[in-house]
Amino acid sequence: MKKSAVFLILSFVPLGFFACQFAIPTAVEIIGNPSAKFSETVDVGKMFEDLIRHGIDKDERLIMIPCTQPEIITNLIYLELINEEYDDLTDKEKIEELFPGTNLIPDDINDDPFLDDIPLTTDKNLILLDSMEDKENRLIVPLSELGLLLPGFVFYNGKDGGYEARLYFSGSEIIEKSIIDITIVEVKKGDDGEYTPLPGTEHTICDGLDITDDKSDIEKWIEDECYDGETCPSSGEEIIIPLTGNDIAISFKVYIPENTILHLSDFKASYIKVELVLWLPLKFVAVAEKAALFFPDDYFFSSEKDLFGREKPDSESLVFDIVESLSVDINFQKHPFKGGELIILNKGEITFEEGNLNILDKGVDIRSPIEKDDALSFTVAEDNMKEINKPDNWPFAPNIIIGFKEKDTLSFTKDFKAFEFAFKAKVRYRKDL
């Protein structure tokens, strides 16, 4: 958006509105209500979608695939949890190295490496893969960049208890004798880059699920560069994943239960592949008494430059001499904010404690109920102009925040675009000659 639009428009105000009171003027007075409009298409929904894509693109095991049919912006998040291949295994030491806990029985009579049927005599499960112990192999789904802009919201439940996802398993004979556990936990990334679990957020989303051979259509989705279904894919095993807007770590364990009968062929040319597909519409619900939507820094106005062009706190600006108030309309085809509260905040300290948005040390705080479903409108009144002109409130580079109440829902649709910005000023200035 035009970060200095207001200042540029107001700079032309003195050129168009003046009146002389006498033939030989003793004063010049400027009175009027100048207005200006300019068009600029801004895809607000895509901005939030890109926050997820930015994190997804950092891990080659994650793929984000747009869905063409739903009206709400929706993506499939594809995760390749496991993709392990093994050579033909006939060496006892190699098998025992790859699969600790096996107790293979050699066939001394027929000089074959092992008996074709091998009962596991160990009292433990045969662990094939375990990322619960090896945290380097866990998958992080990065949702916190989006969550930071939506404090007090969680993803709207596609199903009771969470968002719908699908698990896919494929492999050789050994996969059919395996079961899988999957656990997620919400995590926070520290300054050192390490993720630490958030207390009380661990969920077992899959516990002892029998594995059946089934593959996703990832190759087709990549080739088409989209998924054209109206709902989550119907194949695979359905699971439910809670999503609150924090990053989540997905850990898994694949194992063969104790006392399972294995064949030598199970270890030949074996492979295991586990895929997860998350159906993710950008729809949210407020779970706090006071929730909010923030726009990223510099999205509307520069965070470093004063909106009215002042270079330093004590700079004089003609704008403050002539402008009594300023009205701004940001017009949309349609937006989801009706019923919320528009907050224009400069230099305020924002906290989110005990599930609620709090604003401290407000600086300049302008609020307006959102009554239209096709525009965000606010007025910088005369008292606001006086506050903005104070050196303590320089630079005036406000944040735009949308406040919501508990249980309010918020959906980003594909037609969620701003297309016009309208400004109207009330000006009055007198200069004695």
Count the domains in the chain: 2
Residue 62 lies in a domain: no
Q: Are 338 and 403 part of one and the same domain?
A: yes
Q: What pLDDT was estimated at residue 259? A: 75
Q: Are 105 and 168 part of one and the same domain?
A: yes
DSSP H or E run through 132: none
What number of H helices and E strands is found in the chain?
Answer: 8, 28
Of the residues 260, 281, 302, which one is the last residue of a structural domain? 281
Residue 21 lies in a domain: yes
Q: What pLDDT was estimated at residue 100? A: 65
Of the residues 281, 304, 320, which one is the last residue of a structural domain? 281
Q: What pLDDT was estimated at residue 59? A: 87
Q: Are 313 and 399 part of one and the same domain?
A: yes
Residue 176 lies in a domain: yes
DSSP H or E run through 406: none
Q: Are 152 and 235 part of one and the same domain?
A: yes
Q: What pLDDT was estimated at residue 115? A: 47
Residue 59 lies in a domain: no
Q: Are 107 and 149 part of one and the same domain?
A: yes
Of the residues 281, 308, 323, which one is the last residue of a structural domain? 281
Q: Are 246 and 340 part of one and the same domain?
A: no
Q: What pLDDT was estimated at residue 1? A: 46
Residue 52 lies in a domain: no
Q: What pLDDT was estimated at residue 111? A: 53
Residue 310 lies in a domain: yes
Q: What pLDDT was estimated at residue 24? A: 52
Torsion of CA 265, 267, 270, 276, to 10 degrees: 110
Residue 54 lies in a domain: no
Q: Are 151 and 22 part of one and the same domain?
A: no
Q: Are 193 and 142 part of one and the same domain?
A: yes
Q: Are 156 and 250 part of one and the same domain?
A: yes
Residue 351 lies in a domain: yes
Q: Are 104 and 211 part of one and the same domain?
A: yes
Q: Are 292 and 364 part of one and the same domain?
A: yes
Give me the domain span that covers residue 235: 74-281
What is the residue-level pLDDT of the chain in tens, covering all 433 positions? 444 444 444 444 443 333 333 345 555 666 778 777 878 788 888 888 998 998 898 888 899 999 999 999 999 999 998 888 766 555 566 666 766 666 556 655 555 555 445 555 455 677 777 787 767 777 899 998 888 889 889 999 877 677 889 988 887 777 777 888 889 999 998 888 889 999 999 988 877 766 667 889 999 999 999 999 999 998 888 888 888 889 999 988 888 887 777 766 676 667 788 899 999 999 999 988 889 998 876 676 666 678 777 888 887 777 777 888 888 888 888 888 989 999 888 865 666 665 566 666 567 888 899 998 888 888 888 888 888 888 888 888 888 889 999 999 999 998 888 878 888 888 776 666 6
Burial 25-45 (b: 16+ CB within 10 A, else e): eeeeebebebebeeeeebbbb
By the 8 A CB rule, do 182 and 252 touch? Answer: yes
DSSP H or E run through 355: none
Q: Are 128 and 205 part of one and the same domain?
A: yes
